[in-house]
Structure 1
Amino acid sequence: MSGTGPAPSARAAEIGARVEAFVRGTVAPYERDPRRDAHGPSDELVAELRSKAREAGVLTPHILADGSHLDQRETAYVLRQSGLSPLGPIAVNTAAPDEGNMYLLGKVGSDEQKRRFLDPIVRGEARSAFFMTEPAEDGGAGSDPSMMLTTARLDGNHWVVNGRKAFITGAEGAQVGIVMAKSDDGACMFLVDLPDPAITVERVLDTIDSSMPGGHAVVRIENLRVPADQMLGQSGEGFKYAQIRLAPARLSHCMRWLGACIRANEIATEYACRRHAFGKPLIDHEGVGFMLAENLIDLKQAELMIDWCAGVLDAGAQGGAESSMAKVAVSEALMRVADRCVQTMGGTGVTGDTIVEQVFREIRAFRIYDGPTEVHKWSLAKKIKRDRREAR
């Protein structure tokens, strides 16, 4: 399955082949490493895996030596290969939130900001966090960023930021932060060195997923002083910059988790062909064989949806509606795939003996982060109404 689909460019095929070989051969054996817990792999394990990726020449493979990026279609192929293990994106430095933060900094950051904040992330020497979502109990921003309560006030040549954030992936242990807050001009983004005494991790949440180092934290920001030259872009333009980051980032999630589900389906297929019940292999029972057939259909449809949306982004479109459609279609399709893999494997499918159980959990979370299915459908419905009104 990993070799089918829209043909990648020659350079993407070469990079992707090296990434796939590394993830299958070097990273996959670490899936039983004890340096993983409910909040993700430890920083020690991350550093070890990245060291091996650096030696193999596959670290940050979607960014070329001259700092340019693969295009979105090429990135789709390479990130899919990195996702063949839940540890793969962390190992080769294509994981969220770093991949999205690298993209944003590359698009919006000044030369000095890139040197100071972007380059260490690209080199795999620093992890980053994106501070946007706020706690529901505060009435702050979630799927509706306009509800943002975190404030930014100019004081001389510094901005003073106050607020609380929630579900901040990788905040524990990150060295670079991108903090969203609201000034008198509107939404803003700030680059900060971490840790900072003004930013306190209140707690790391216990969540269903466990693939991202540092987990997902609730964070308090109290009188954080940020030099004015560490504002990312312009005051009041934060929501525009968020869209620059979020549309490709939604698609990147789809790419990585497609790889994970391809691998889960391989494991389930091998199990169904090896395991016997009622006098024949499980694959020969229609109830099982049909599930695996449906998996191939959903995997192919997910792959084609990703390729279509990547093409839209490569053509220069903002791609908000297209990435929403891809996020919904792919996350829902991969949820079906992961569920059938568990079902095919029966009791074994809900144990940690293979990655199938983890992939199921991760995909369930994927249906929510970067916008749940219902929010994207609501956004698309608004676009349908707007387009019809403009067409009259």
Structure 2
Amino acid sequence: MEDPRTDGGGAAGQEAEAVAPAERVGRFVRDRVFPRESVLDGGGPAAAEALAVLRAEARAEGLWALPLPAELGGGGLSFAAYAELAEAEGASDHGPAALGSAPLLDVRMLDRYGRPGVREAYLKRLVAGEIRTCYAMTEPGVPGTDPFRTATRAERLPDGGWRVTGRKWFTSGAAGADLVTVMARTSGADGDREGLSLLLVPTGSAGFRVVRELPVLGVAGQYEIALDGVLVPADHLLGEPGEALAIAGERLLLGRTLRCLRWLGQAQRAFDLMCERAATHGGSRGPLADQQLVQAHVFDALLALRTTRPLVREAVALIAAGQDARTEVGLAKVAAARMLQQVADCAIQVHGAAGLGPDTPLPGLFRTGRAARILDGPDELHITAVARRVLRGHGRSA
């Protein structure tokens, strides 16, 4: 499969061809996904049925799994080409799942680092939407910014397999997943920089259990899981022993950039709702759009959007070109998270009490923006890492 950090020879043509798909994806998300969001948010059988309908519609319209490899049943778009439509797809949290691109990170990881048996058993089914995966790295009581303190252990067995014991939390979608990628210590002592590995664990294995759901600001979808001596086949090790941080680093750079693109789409949605509200509502003092303080909210939100988008695009370009994008991804991640929270907040203010209730998506968009400043690495982590990298380039030993 194509390296996620490069585009291949056909990138320019694919990018040109992505304009029409971006428009089609945008219409699909607005016309099909938005109206079903309340059902999808509620979970359970009704949500599963609604998602199945959306996926069938996406397939029928030729929009299924556009960034996933063509040889596995996907659309074959390069990362650069997919970035052109990721904003439109991500305007709803449910867009990537409905359109089949949600497993992009797992597909790339398994295709690159999975052994032949694992690739054969899971990849095509994952692209087809027949199975689901999740990623478990963070642990209770251990900062996600300090993976060296990972307490989950994987013991090598005589037959080459592994026995995994530990607990993870804030694992997205664990309750409905068929496979979970687990970071575990396979050698060394707590705190060592070496000895961390990634293992692909079938959730149907004896000893695997979902401990509890962890609502984030009142919204479901995150879980705490336990692995009580779970037996994992030898070929379910991803990469080689001790390679977890290198593999995770690749995954995180791409994943954070994808999130930034989707946050831009959600912020644009909030901005459009705010402008529509300002243009169509008013009171005894005239239309909201004529009020200077409302105009200030519109200006500030537009400024945040327009100044963040180039940062995200720069990160996309560097990743697509196979260059070091750590500084640019750090800048983009902090900027995009703050921007989404700011734009959603402005839109809520212009809506007044209506912006706090269930009749608009604004509470959810604001919640996503606030959570974004902690998930995928808190602002402070990225600020410190970027500043140290910049200062080292100026002869400082930060």
Normalising by structure 1, what TM-score?
0.90
Tell me which of 73, 82, 85 is aligned to 1:75.
Answer: 82
Residues 318-350 of structure 1: CA distance to partner in whole angstroms, max 9, x if unpaired?
A: 422221111011111221111111111111111
2:292 corresponding residue in structure 1: 286
| Alignment of structure 1 residues 99-138 onto 2, 5 Å | 99-136=104-141
1:92 corresponding residue in structure 2: 99
Equivalent residues of 2:66, 2:76 under 8 A apart: no
1:360 corresponding residue in structure 2: 366
Alignment partner of 2:165: what SS?
strand
Aligned-residue Cα RMSD (Å) equals 2.3
Question: Following the alignment from structure 2 to structure 1, what is the Cα–Cα distance between the partners of residues 114 and 324?
Answer: 19
Equivalent residues of 1:177, 1:191 under 8 A apart: yes
Tell me which of 178, 185, 194 is aligned to 1:182.
Answer: 185
Residues 104-135 of structure 1: CA distance to partner in whole angstroms, max 9, x if unpaired?
A: 22332234322322222211222211011000
Name the stretch that deviates more: 125-134 or 230-239. 125-134
Q: Does 1:143 align with 2:150?
A: no
Alignment partner of 1:134: what SS?
coil
Runs of 4 or more, structure 1, over 6 Å off, are: 38-41
Residues 60 and 378 from structure 1, CA distance in 2 versus in 1: closer, same or farther, beyond 3 angstroms? same
Q: Which amino acid aligns with 1:302?
A: T
1:194 corresponding residue in structure 2: 203
Equivalent residues of 1:127, 1:175 under 8 A apart: yes
Q: Percent of counterpart pairs with the same letter?
A: 31
Residues 77 and 40 from structure 1, CA distance in 2 versus in 1: closer, same or farther, beyond 3 angstroms? farther
Equivalent residues of 1:80, 1:256 under 8 A apart: yes
Residues 189 and 141 from structure 1, CA distance in 2 versus in 1: closer, same or farther, beyond 3 angstroms? farther
Equivalent residues of 2:211, 2:226 under 8 A apart: yes
Q: CA deviation at 1:258?
A: 1.0
Question: Following the alignment from structure 1 to structure 2, what is the Cα–Cα distance between the partners of residues 283 and 196?
Answer: 58
Q: Does 1:20 align with 2:26?
A: yes
Residues 119 and 219 from structure 1, CA distance in 2 versus in 1: closer, same or farther, beyond 3 angstroms? same
Alignment partner of 1:388: what SS?
coil
Q: Does 1:53 align with 2:53?
A: no
How many equivalent residue pairs?
Answer: 376
1:227 corresponding residue in structure 2: 233
Question: Following the alignment from structure 1 to structure 2, what is the Cα–Cα distance between the partners of residues 231 and 374?
Answer: 32
Q: Which runs of 5+ in 1 are unaligned?
A: 1-6
Normalising by structure 2, what TM-score?
0.88
Q: Which runs of 5+ in 2 are unaligned?
A: 1-12, 188-193
Equivalent residues of 1:77, 1:255 under 8 A apart: no
Residues 20 and 284 from structure 1, CA distance in 2 versus in 1: closer, same or farther, beyond 3 angstroms? same
Question: Following the alignment from structure 1 to structure 2, what is the Cα–Cα distance between the partners of residues 261 and 41?
Answer: 28
2:384 corresponding residue in structure 1: 378
2:42 corresponding residue in structure 1: 37
Q: CA deviation at 1:161?
A: 0.9
Q: CA deviation at 1:217?
A: 0.7
Residues 384 and 318 from structure 1, CA distance in 2 versus in 1: closer, same or farther, beyond 3 angstroms? closer
Residues 139-184 of structure 1: CA distance to partner in whole angstroms, max 9, x if unpaired?
A: x351111111111111122111111101011100101211110111
Q: CA deviation at 1:40?
A: 12
